[in-house]
Amino acid sequence: MKRIALVTGASRGLGATIARLFADRGYDLVLSARTEPDLERLADELRSSRVTVITRHGDIADPFTRHTLIDAARYLGGLDVLVNNASELGGLAPLTDVDPLKLERLLRVNVIAPLQLTRAALPLLAERAGLVVNISSDAAQGAYAGWGAYGASKAGLDLASRTLAAEVAPALVGVVLVDPGDLRTRMHQEAFPGQDISDRPLPGITLPFWEWLLDQPPAAISGRRFKAQEARQQWLVEA
């Protein structure tokens, strides 16, 4: 049976790296992002691996966008892995200075959207004992000055994901959190405008982790939080 994965925020950076790995492993793909040209270039590249790639452009906070993604997965035949990678930084500022509308936007994109997409995907995932991967951040635990709004959204996603893992266990669907660590990506550059971030590794440094993760039975790792840049032996330790 052909394996199928859905990756949000897939047009560049970590999302594109994960999508390429899925294609290398023979997965058919549903990819989403807001930036259409970048996403289409990636899709054309991956189709050369002789996998089917369906793209959907739009804001992941929009219910219609999420609906189109689930429809695309259903068209391909189901869903084995959902990677909720799309997120927003929302700018850095002290919590007392954060615009409430910006905070609401962060919560919609970084917490509500992945939970609602997961909810819609559960019937498909349950048919294949699939896996949900929610991308977290060290900001969820670090309490870094200026990062409070983003960190709060990721902390909320952390707790919701652990709770969800317990709730969907009877369906044999796994839910895990992954902190990819500091990476040389556009979002990380947005956090440090005008600064040189060339000392940060490219997203490809996390590939050994993703290779390992995809070989694990989803039910056996469900509820855990992983750090993708840790040594392999640490992934085997209960988070």
Strand partners, 179: 227
Ramachandran area for residue 189 (φ above 0: left; ψ -120 to 50: alpha; else beta): alpha
Tokens, residue 141 = 């635990």
> What's the pTM?
0.93
Q: Which CATH architecture has domain 4-235?
A: 3-Layer(aba) Sandwich (3.40)
Report pLDDT digits (tens) over 188-200. Answer: 555 556 665 566 6
User: DSSP labels for 18-69?
Assistant: HHHHHHHTT-EEEEEES-HHHHHHHHHHHHTTT--EEEEES-TTSHHHHHHH
Residues belonging to the active site: 150
What value does the mean pLDDT take over residues 84-93? 91
**What is the residue extent of each domain of the chain?**
4-235
The three-class DSSP label of residue 214 is: helix
Top pLDDT among 159 and 140 is at 159
Is residue 145 over pLDDT 90?
no
Digit-coded pLDDT (tens) for 165-217: 999 999 999 999 999 877 555 665 555 566 655 666 778 899 999 999 999 99
41-45, 135-139, 233-237: least confident range: 233-237
Of the candidates 21, 233, 215, the one whose C-alpha atom is nearest the C-alpha of residue 131 is 215
